[in-house]
Structure 1
Amino acid sequence: MKVPATERLKPSRTWRRWLKRGVTLVFFVLVAVLLFSLARNVDWPEVIATLRGYSPLMLVAGVGITAASYTAFCSYDLLGKKYTGHGLSAGRVLLVAFVCYSFNLNLGAWVGGLAMRYRLYTRLGLGVGTVTRILSISLIANWLGYMILAGIVFSFRLLSLPQNWEIGATGLQFIGFGLLAVSFAYLAACRFSKRRAWHVRGHEIVLPPLRLALMQAALGAANWSLMSALIYLLLPQGLFFPSILGILLISSIAGVVTHIPAGLGVLEAVFLALLQHHVAPSQILAALIGYRALYFLLPLTAAFLVYLVLERRGLKRKKEEARQEG
């Protein structure tokens, strides 16, 4: 009896799935051990004192940086509007993107980046295919900006690594070269590629023009830079900003690998490991606690209220459509 091809692939897929789970578990355990070993000697009263020492003007500046970063991120979806040509207003697009980004950061990509984006956009009348294309533009913008910044920071050795890190400055430099190569290859494809469309799981993905791709790169880089600027603001003065940017970029990838919502613990572990030889651990943790409060929790509170309003409008729209059909 001949076994179908799909059946023959199942053991391989199962093996890869369990390998991925195993690697994730090992990485999670290593992060937990590292965080515990680094934080057990932290002077927690000093952390609290540092938090209390932030001036109102600094906190206002932090809120301003957070607002600017969220504006850059939400503008990804405005590029999606231009890319797809859908009819939703720019204001409504920004509200949906704000809600999705806030929930994405705090609850994970599957909740905010995917499920909620499809739910809100389809309730506002967009088709699944259109939402998929908006999502593709948004994801590429975010990671294109990431790769360009990481490529520059790593390639020019703007981040000093501890001597006991196995990857070393040279290895990180080659990673930077690779990231820049991928970024420029995407931009070159947007400019010169003759084939402009691909089909993925029944959805058509159209390569954007170069101008739109450059806007993706600019907004993505701006968003990551502003996130780093907020942490830089809360840390002691005199640090090298590209180093803070590089540490944030590394910690973000570590958070993606572990699938931990908000990178909780991962961000702190990476910053403590890479920055404790320059800054006291208590000051690092105080800055990251302030960062989470300003960049994660404060926007999430506002996003929850906006989400309730969007849900109410979407439900009202569905009732009106049902009444017209009836």
Structure 2
Amino acid sequence: MKVSVIDRLKPSRTWRRWLKRGVTLAFFVLVAVLLFSLARNVDWPEVVETLRSYSPLLLLAGVGITAASHAAFSGYDLLGKRYTGHELPAWRVLLVASVCYAFNLNLGAWVGGLAMRYRLYTRLGLGVSTVTRILSVSLIANWLGYMILAGTVFSFRLLGLPSSWEIGATGLQLIGFGLLGISFAYLAACRFSKRRVWHVRGHEVVLPPLKLALMQAALGAANWLLMGMLIYLLLPQGLFFPSILGILLISAIAGVITHIPAGLGVLEAVFLALLQHEVAKSEILAALIAYRALYFLLPLLVACVGYLMLERKGRRRKREEARQRG
């Protein structure tokens, strides 16, 4: 009896799937235990007092940084418009992207990044394949900017680790070199590769020209820099900005691994673990609470209004198409 190649691969795939679930669960438990052990001795009245001490001018600056960051992220989809050549007006693309980003942050990538993006774009007349290509441009821009920044911070050891974590500095540096290598390999492929079409897990990816790839890197890096700048603004003065940025970048990956919407608890656990040797726990938690309010919740309120506008536009377009067919 012959055994097909697919049948041979099934046990391997099952093993890898369960290993991935096990690692995710273990990481989730580790984060929960770490967060509990670090937060149980927090002076919560001091957290409230720190929140009250934020001046209106500082909060207004925080709103401005948040708006700039969300605009940078929405710019990913403008690159997608240039990449695909679709005819939706730029202002509508920015509206869709900003709405999806706010829902993505709060409810997870499957809701905001994927399901909502496909729904809104297809209701506005774009095909599924076009939306997929827009999404690929957006994802690459986000993580290309991430890898360039993380690679730089980790490679040059700009992240000030606690003394108990110093043993991991070399490993983090090697990861940084790897991230920079991947980033430059992508940019080199966009410039020199003669093969422009690649297939990744059944999806067709067309390499963009180098100019568009550099714009992906610039927008992606700008978005992450602005996120780090907002947290830096809310923390006490005198800290080293690249170190704050590095902690944010580590917490982002931890959030992806645990699949927790908004990285709730993960962001706090990583910052408490890596920054408590420099800043009081109450000040760290106050800064992160304010960060979530400004960067997550406030844009979500605005995005709900934008979503209703887009849904109404989509319904109107469907009715017009039905009338034309009738």
Structure 2 distance, partners of 1:20, 1:50, is 40
Structure 1 residue 308: deviation in Å?
1.1
Structure 2 distance, partners of 1:93, 1:5, is 44
Please identify, of 7-16 and 93-102, the stretch whose mean Cα deviation from structure 2 is larger: 7-16
Please identify, of 155-164 and 103-112, the stretch whose mean Cα deviation from structure 2 is larger: 155-164
Structure 2 distance, partners of 1:202, 1:37, is 44
Structure 1 residue 5: deviation in Å?
3.3
CA-to-aligned-CA distance 1:147-204 (integer Å, 9 cap, x gap): 0001111111100112323752111111111111111111111111111112346643
Please identify, of 244-253 and 157-166, the stretch whose mean Cα deviation from structure 2 is larger: 157-166
Structure 2 distance, partners of 1:161, 1:207, is 38
Structure 1 residue 2: deviation in Å?
3.4
Q: Which runs of 5+ in 2 are unaligned?
A: none
Q: TM-score normalized by structure 2? A: 0.97
The DSSP-based 3-state class of the residue aligned with 2:25 is helix
Task: Give, as a single letter, the amino acid of the residue that structure 2 aligns with 1:51.
Answer: L
Task: Give, as a single letter, the amino acid of the residue that structure 1 aligns with 2:126.
Answer: L
Structure 2 distance, partners of 1:203, 1:270, is 34
User: Could you tell me which residue of structure 1 aligns to residue 104 of structure 2?
Assistant: 104
Structure 2 distance, partners of 1:74, 1:92, is 11
Residue 87 of structure 2 is aligned to residue 87 of structure 1: yes
CA-to-aligned-CA distance 1:33-85 (integer Å, 9 cap, x gap): 00000000000000000000100000000000000000000000000000000
User: Could you tell me which residue of structure 2 aligns to residue 189 of structure 1?
Assistant: 189
Structure 1 distance, partners of 2:110, 2:44, is 34
User: Could you tell me which residue of structure 2 aligns to residue 156 of structure 1?
Assistant: 156
Q: Which runs of 5+ in 1 are unaligned?
A: none
1:18-167 aligned within 5 A? 18-165=18-165
User: Could you tell me which residue of structure 2 aligns to residue 213 of structure 1?
Assistant: 213
Contact 2:190–2:209 under 8 Å retained in 1: yes
User: Could you tell me which residue of structure 2 aligns to residue 241 of structure 1?
Assistant: 241
Structure 2 distance, partners of 1:158, 1:166, is 13
Structure 1 distance, partners of 2:122, 2:10, is 33
Structure 2 distance, partners of 1:135, 1:265, is 27
Contact 1:129–1:203 under 8 Å retained in 2: no
Task: Give, as a single letter, the amino acid of the residue that structure 1 aligns with 2:274.
Answer: L
Structure 2 distance, partners of 1:258, 1:265, is 10
Structure 1 distance, partners of 2:46, 2:156, is 35
% same residue: 84
Task: Give, as a single letter, the amino acid of the residue that structure 1 aligns with 2:268.
Answer: E
Structure 1 residue 316: deviation in Å?
1.3
CA distance change for structure 1 residues 10 and 299 in 2, over 3 Å: closer, same or farther?
same
The DSSP-based 3-state class of the residue aligned with 1:165 is helix
User: Could you tell me which residue of structure 2 aligns to residue 230 of structure 1?
Assistant: 230
Structure 1 distance, partners of 2:7, 2:168, is 43
Contact 1:31–1:266 under 8 Å retained in 2: yes
CA distance change for structure 1 residues 202 and 256 in 2, over 3 Å: closer, same or farther?
closer
Structure 2 distance, partners of 1:200, 1:252, is 24
Q: TM-score normalized by structure 1? A: 0.97
